[in-house]
Structure 1
Amino acid sequence: MPTPLTPAQHDLVTEFGSIYEQYGFQRLKGLIVGLLLVQPEPLSLDDMAEMLARSKGPISTAVRDLSSTGLLRKVDGPNRRRDYYAAHPDLFLNNFKHNMAIVRKNRRTAEQFLEEMGGDEQHAEAVRNLEQMRAFYTLMESFYEDFAERWEAEPARLDGRA
């Protein structure tokens, strides 16, 4: 049986739903991530549906999507006949890597179309915009790479090992 949410945990779960929604994702995905972050034990789909007062079908779909992006993981639970889920230990890093992949794709898109449109005066405005896009995402990519390197040392510091 899952641990009931305290008022503060409920507020955190609700806030995660809002954050995901603000990023253009399904609110339900944020609610699930928030719920699994505050629960000391893994939850089944039925547990999540009950705690979030939602239907099991959309929960199942959202959990599958969140698992495929490395935000959740399937784990053992008390009932062997059910699947249980927990927040992935690298949830934030995996989310970051997903964002980094989008930044790289945006830079590559700019480069691809600069190559296709580069010498044609008819595309002069598009080329100027694509050059700015490439410069923006190239710089963002370097910030992401620097951040990723710095983050590698952070878990040890947070655990008091550094």
Structure 2
Amino acid sequence: MKEVFNIFININYPVSLETIRKLKNGDKVSYTGKIILVSPDALKRLSKYYTLEGVPLFNFLGEFVTSGTLNLAHGEIKSIDISEISDYFDFLFKGGANSLIIDKISPKTHNQLKNYKRPFFKSLSQTIGIYDPKVLLYKDIKNGGIIEVWTKNHPLEVLTFEEKEQMSDIDNAKL
């Protein structure tokens, strides 16, 4: 009987865009480092500030970004849903974000993400275990603003677009 081993690539913060671009579709990654958790309301405010002032209030340079619900009692991000922030993908990437930690790919999200020509990360669990959360901006926004959290050895799967601009069939990342 053949044994199958899941080999994980260890990636630690900070992660360069060059490193991310070397990853291949389906690679399993064990990520240890910082994640920026954003809410749609916070991104709306940040975007408006940038439009009015012409300078960024927050720098996403080199960060992994996701959206979901912070559950402090259990030390986790749950209900990961980047579709809620899909109107701000351009804003995030122009602001320097390296990648997104995503949940599932909807047709709308698929069409948006294929334009960025970079790998994204799908969480292999329904929650992301976190520690040391710190609100960086917009403490007044209910259920989050811009929050820095840290994770240790979180399993992720790399999702990339092939030349045909189609997402490969990886676990439940089907369209």
**TM-score under structure 1 length normalisation:** 0.23
Computing the radius of gyration from Cα coordinates, the structure with the larger value is: 1
Select the structure with the greater relative contact order (CA < 8 A; seq sep ≥ 6): 2
Which of the pair is proportionally richer in helix?
1
Which of the pair is proportionally richer in strand?
2
